[in-house]
Chains A and B, each alone.
Chain A
Amino acid sequence: MQPVLVLVECDGAEGAVCVSGYRLLGMARRLGSPVAVVRRPVEPRVIAALGRYGATRVCVVEDMAEPAVGTAGAGGARGVASTAVAVHAISELAWQMSAAAVLVPSDREGREIAARVAVRLGSGIVTDAVDVFADPDGPVTVQEVCGGAYRVESVVRGTAPVITVACGSAAPAPAPAEAIAEPAVELMRVTLPEADRRVRVVARTRKPDRRPSVAAASVVVAGGRGVGSAEGFALVEKVADALGAAVGGTHAAADLGWCPHDALIGQTGAIVHPRLYIACGISGSVHHRAGIQHAATIVAIDRDPTAPIFRIADVGVVGDLHEVLPALLEELARRRNPAATEAI
């Protein structure tokens, strides 16, 4: 079977593999024999875990100039050079092994790596695949387009297609027991050319613990008149803190003094551009909708199923927010609990 390169992130607690890595290995098994590419030294238990999900080889890639210091270190503390390291390593390995495909997670860094590797290899690129399977004509990818209204199946031609896989597309499944073998571990040292050192981090600030401002936040939780009281609004703030989000309010909430006036979202207030906008007890007046139409995903929680906010929402929850929000907080806490995620 031809090797399939998989970029595996090991940014979890104590260098554990991210769930996306297992998911990608599962998909890679359908196309060939998965080769995991990791960018930090890994412990034997991590290698064993990668093996359980089907990795036949593990390539540990290191930058010659800045060898990684141990496995400690918080997730996300990598320099920008590691993007270039991944690009070099994957292009080199794909060429050496004549890989059947390259799978990377579909996040900002993954997309950049995929784009640059595809140019170097001159191969096809598919982004945000929700499913991948083998076919006599070549790997077939499934994508969702037009907001999930259509599913597009396409065959990828040429050598070593680069595929970014949408997160949450499939649940990771361990490989069948008979297929599991201890993966071979290789160390690869990459020397970056000077050109790749023209990008550098000049400042890295930990995000302040206080909430971000609504206009610049990537997640916003907002409350309206339906919240009912200032005490009820504290619930909205709790959900925002759980998501690391900014707190916003409608005209009504701001006028009633539940939230400060600079958190007002709408035509006369802030126009927001978050990835996720959660509207709690907001009916969705024209004034308010003008401020949130740029939000990528809108979630509305309201008692009234005929509220106009449901017409523009991607997800609507019809129910009393005083019950739904505490349940959501519990659910979020449960999902964050490391004991619950360790089982995966």
Chain B
Amino acid sequence: MKLVVLVKHVPDETVDRPLTDGVFADDLTVDREALTCRLGEPDEYAVEQAMRIARRRMDVQICVVTMGPPGAARALVRALALGADEAVHVVDDALHGSDAQATSLVLAAAVRRIGFDLVLCGTASTDSGMSVVPAMVAERLGVPVACEADAVWAGEDEVVVRRDAGPTTDDIALTLPAVVSVTERVGEPRYPAYRSVVEARGKVVRTWSLADLRIRPDEVGLGASATVVRSVTPYAGQGPALIVRGDARDAAERLASYLSEHQLI
């Protein structure tokens, strides 16, 4: 059984507060050179989930894939330390500024080339947080998709996921091959042992360019992006912390408004 985990090298929010200058480069893309980056936390849960499937079967091979600048290879090394067997890094200068369409095109091509039974990914990246790439990759591969799974069981030719559907909890079966994105509720990632960190250095990281995936450079990157960012303005309307003081009734009303505005209740 071949598991492919899609991961992303994202700015580490615990190191750099995103409120300072320097988040955005001159072309209004996120300036990854200037920020401390790490393997995305949701991706660690996906790698962990792959490890849990691998523990129950003999024939599982886990391959992690990322697309990003040369520095993104560090995310792959981390994923290898967490237990993945091999890694693929798609790196090409033309990829700079790719949007979700281009990203899904590249990742789908890479996954197809690797071959897969199950593709796992985190629900959303912690930087852009669009959470559409898993479904887009699945659509391009022509396989079923289940997003935001709270639990995953892999069978011989199907995968069953459990997810929260408001008043009910649904168990959904997908015929393999399939794509599944997992939430942080699937289970804490392990802390890698020193031994696996050392072993990760010996594992293979393959580097593919766009030409390897037979994708033309004009199909991806900033030029092919469907959205053109016009302006990025600091928004003072809502700081990191909204502090409500005063009368209890008034405070409760403002709190309830905040919660419903952010779709939390």
Q: A74's closest neighbor in chain B, by CB?
A: B167
Residue from the set B139, B237, B239 with the largest chain A CB neighbour count within 10 Å = B139
Let me know if A124 and B101 touch, CB within 8 A: yes
Residue from the set B185, B226, B246, B249 with the largest chain A CB neighbour count within 10 Å = B226
Against A, the Cβ 8 Å flags (1 = close, 0 = not) of B139-178 are: 1101111111010000000001000111111111111001
Let me know if B168 and A76 touch, CB within 8 A: yes
Give chain B nearest CB distance to A324 CB in angstroms. 5
Give chain B nearest CB distance to A339 CB in angstroms. 17
Give chain A nearest CB distance to B112 CB in angstroms. 14
Give chain B nearest CB distance to A249 CB in angstroms. 20
Partner of A200, one of B24, B168, B172, B225: B172
Contacts of A323 in B (CB 8 A): 248
Let me know if A273 and B226 touch, CB within 8 A: no
Partner of B240, one of A149, A152, A206: A149
Task: Report Cα–Cα, A75/B165, bound state, in Å.
Answer: 10
Let me know if B135 and A203 touch, CB within 8 A: no
Indicate if B243 sits at the interface (CB-CB under 8 A). Answer: yes
Contacts of B100 in A (CB 8 A): 115, 118, 125
Interface residue stretch chosen among B52-60, B72-80, B209-217, B256-264:
B256-264
Q: A317's closest neighbor in chain B, by CB?
A: B244
> Known contacts A127-B131, A154-B227: does B145 contact A112 (CB below 8 Å)?
yes
Interface residue stretch chosen among A30-38, A139-147, A250-258, A261-269:
A139-147
Give chain A nearest CB distance to B89 CB in angstroms. 24
Contacts of B160 in A (CB 8 A): 202
Against B, the Cβ 8 Å flags (1 = close, 0 = not) of A52-86 are: 00000000000000000000001111001000000
Against B, the Cβ 8 Å flags (1 = close, 0 = not) of A290-314 are: 0000100101000001000011011
Give chain B nearest CB distance to A79 CB in angstroms. 9
Give chain B nearest CB distance to A338 CB in angstroms. 15
Q: A135's closest neighbor in chain B, by CB?
A: B230
> Known contacts A112-B147, A199-B174, A207-B167: does B139 contact A149 (CB below 8 Å)?
no
Give the tally of cross-chain contacts (CB within 8 A).
246
Indicate if A343 sits at the interface (CB-CB under 8 A). Answer: no
Let me know if B170 and A317 touch, CB within 8 A: no
Task: Report Cα–Cα, A324/B230, bound state, in Å.
Answer: 42
Indicate if A151 sits at the interface (CB-CB under 8 A). Answer: yes
Task: Report Cα–Cα, A230/B32, bound state, in Å.
Answer: 50
Give chain A nearest CB distance to B253 CB in angstroms. 5
Give chain B nearest CB distance to A163 CB in angstroms. 10
Let me know if A201 and B248 touch, CB within 8 A: no
Q: B238's closest neighbor in chain A, by CB?
A: A148
Indicate if B94 sits at the interface (CB-CB under 8 A). Answer: no
Q: How many residues of B contact A (CB 8 A)?
A: 84
Let me know if B167 and A200 touch, CB within 8 A: no
Interface residue stretch chosen among A172-180, A182-190, A329-337:
A329-337
Give chain A nearest CB distance to B118 CB in angstroms. 13
Indicate if B15 sits at the interface (CB-CB under 8 A). Answer: no
Partner of A202, one of B23, B173, B227, B232: B173
Contacts of A260 in B (CB 8 A): none
Contacts of A153 in B (CB 8 A): 229-233
Residue from the set A158, A216, A297, A317 with the largest chain B CB neighbour count within 10 Å = A317
Task: Report Cα–Cα, A313/B146, bound state, in Å.
Answer: 31
Task: Report Cα–Cα, A218/B130, bound state, in Å.
Answer: 19
Contacts of A155-213 to chain B: CB distance below 8 A? 155-158, 161, 166-168, 195-196, 198-207
Let me know if B104 and A119 touch, CB within 8 A: yes
Let me know if A149 and B246 touch, CB within 8 A: no
Let me know if B251 and A310 touch, CB within 8 A: no
Let me know if B232 and A150 touch, CB within 8 A: yes
Let me know if B136 and A316 touch, CB within 8 A: no
Partner of A199, one of B146, B165, B232, B263: B146
Contacts of B246 in A (CB 8 A): 319
Q: A327's closest neighbor in chain B, by CB?
A: B252
Task: Report Cα–Cα, A326/B132, bound state, in Å.
Answer: 39
Let me know if A116 and B171 touch, CB within 8 A: no
Let me know if A111 and B169 touch, CB within 8 A: no
> Known contacts A125-B132, A276-B259, A324-B252: does B227 contact A157 (CB below 8 Å)?
yes
Let me know if A151 and B235 touch, CB within 8 A: yes
> Known contacts A120-B139, A154-B230: does B144 contact A205 (CB below 8 Å)?
no
Let me know if B172 and A328 touch, CB within 8 A: no
Contacts of A146 in B (CB 8 A): 18-19, 23
> Known contacts A112-B145, A199-B173, A319-B251: does B262 contact A168 (CB below 8 Å)?
yes
Let me know if B263 and A168 touch, CB within 8 A: yes
Contacts of A287 in B (CB 8 A): none
> Known contacts A119-B104, A119-B139: does B230 contact A140 (CB below 8 Å)?
yes
Indicate if A13 sits at the interface (CB-CB under 8 A). Answer: no
Q: A271's closest neighbor in chain B, by CB?
A: B188
The 8 A-B pairs of least Cβ separation, nearest first, read: A124-B226, A327-B252, A115-B135, A323-B248, A168-B261, A115-B132, A273-B184, A203-B171
Q: A115-B134, A154-B227, A315-B255 are in contact. List 14 more A-B contacts (CB 8 A).
A: A75-B167, A115-B133, A128-B130, A148-B238, A153-B229, A195-B142, A199-B172, A200-B173, A201-B173, A207-B168, A276-B264, A305-B243, A314-B242, A335-B265
Residues of B that sit less than 8 Å from A by CB: 18-19, 23-24, 28, 41, 99-101, 104, 128-136, 138-140, 142-148, 150, 160, 164-175, 178, 183-185, 188, 225-235, 237-246, 248-249, 251-253, 255-256, 258-265
Q: List 8 A-B contacts (CB under 8 A).
A: A123-B226, A124-B226, A125-B130, A166-B263, A196-B144, A199-B174, A202-B173, A276-B259
